[in-house]
């Protein structure tokens, strides 16, 4: 698997590249946000499986880089940073990052997280199943292949995780999904901090879709989607 490592510290990048290479990854190292975005452009090369993105870059903040990546690609992004506060983690995940790892980290855990987001990125192809093309729930229309959502014909811009959460609940309307199940299927992790992030994503969905009753909280259990009237 090709992996894009975005890290301005050459010593850190060299050490991490050596470890990842021993585990079969082919590393492309970018030292700035602009280098990272340029590396993602060529269409004639094998695509990257994962991006490891440091936030403290010399030319632009890693959050900004993540936003630009997400606008042009669904490639899995793992933020790797020393910023450990909950607000930073939530902000990164809301921008579309698939995972958030705080330095210093255990190399084994980082490898497991890389494989987890990579598996999720290729899950549809691996199953060999024909995915649903679209879901309609009253005024809400969800196009699964293109990841587009509209309400009453007006397109709504969702982050990667917001879409994944909505699509999961919408495929079984009325069914209660446990919080642990949602975290496992959407974030592919059991990380304790994701619980608060789930609440943030639910609140954001309600706000963006302007349908506060769409996602119902089942106290002490989880959430379910309540189909609105057309």
DSSP the chain: -EEEEE-S-HHHHHHHHHHHHHTT-EEEEESSHHHHHHHT--SSSPPPSEEEE-S--SSS-HHHHHHHHHHH----EEEEES--SHHHHHHHHHTT-SEEEESS--HHHHHHHHHHHHHHHTHHHHH------EEEETTEEEETTTTEEEETTEEE---HHHHHHHHHHHTSTTPPEEHHHHIIIII----TTHHHHHHHHHHHHHHHHT-TTSEEEETTTEEEE-PPP-
The pLDDT mean for the chain works out to 85
Q: Which of the residue ranges 96-100, 113-117, 132-136, 174-178 would you say has the lowest mean pLDDT?
A: 132-136
pLDDT band at 223 (very low <50, low <70, confident <90, very high): very high
pLDDT at 207: 93
* Residue 18: pLDDT over 90: yes
pLDDT class for 192, splitting at 50, 70, 90? low
Structural domains of the chain sorted by starting position, each given as residue range(s) with its CATH number in brackets: 2-126 (3.40.50.2300), 134-225 (1.10.10.10)
Categorize the per-residue pLDDT at 44 as very low, low, confident or very high, splitting at 50, 70 and 90: low
Q: Which range has highest mean pLDDT (69-73, 123-127, 132-136, 206-210)?
A: 206-210
What is the predicted pLDDT for the residue at 104?
87
């Amino acid at each position: 698997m090709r992996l894009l490592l975005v890290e301005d510290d050459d010593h850190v990048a060299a050490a991490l590249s050596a470890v990842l290479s021993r585990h079969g990854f082919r590393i492309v190292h970018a030292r700035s946000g602009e280098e990272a975005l340029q590396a993602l452009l060529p269409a004639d090369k094998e695509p990257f499986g994962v991006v490891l993105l440091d936030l403290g870059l010399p030319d632009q903040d890693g959050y900004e880089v993540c936003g630009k990546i997400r606008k042009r690609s669904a490639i899995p992004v793992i933020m790797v940073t020393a910023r450990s506060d909950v607000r930073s983690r939530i902000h990164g995940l809301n921008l579309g990052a698939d995972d958030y790892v705080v330095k210093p980290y255990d190399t084994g855990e980082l490898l497991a997280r890389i494989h987890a987001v990579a598996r999720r990125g290729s899950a549809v192809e691996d199953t060999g199943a024909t995915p649903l093309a679209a879901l309609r729930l009253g005024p809400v229309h969800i196009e699964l292949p293109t990841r587009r959502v509209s309400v009453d014909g007006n397109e709504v811009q969702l982050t990667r995780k917001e879409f994944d959460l909505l699509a999961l609940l919408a495929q079984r309307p009325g069914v209660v999904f446990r919080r642990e199940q949602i975290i496992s299927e959407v974030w592919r992790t059991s990380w304790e901090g994701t619980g608060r992030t789930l609440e943030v994503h639910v609140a954001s969905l309600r706000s963006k879709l302007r349908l506060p009753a769409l996602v119902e909280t089942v106290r002490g259990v989880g959430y379910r989607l309540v189909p609105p009237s057309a």
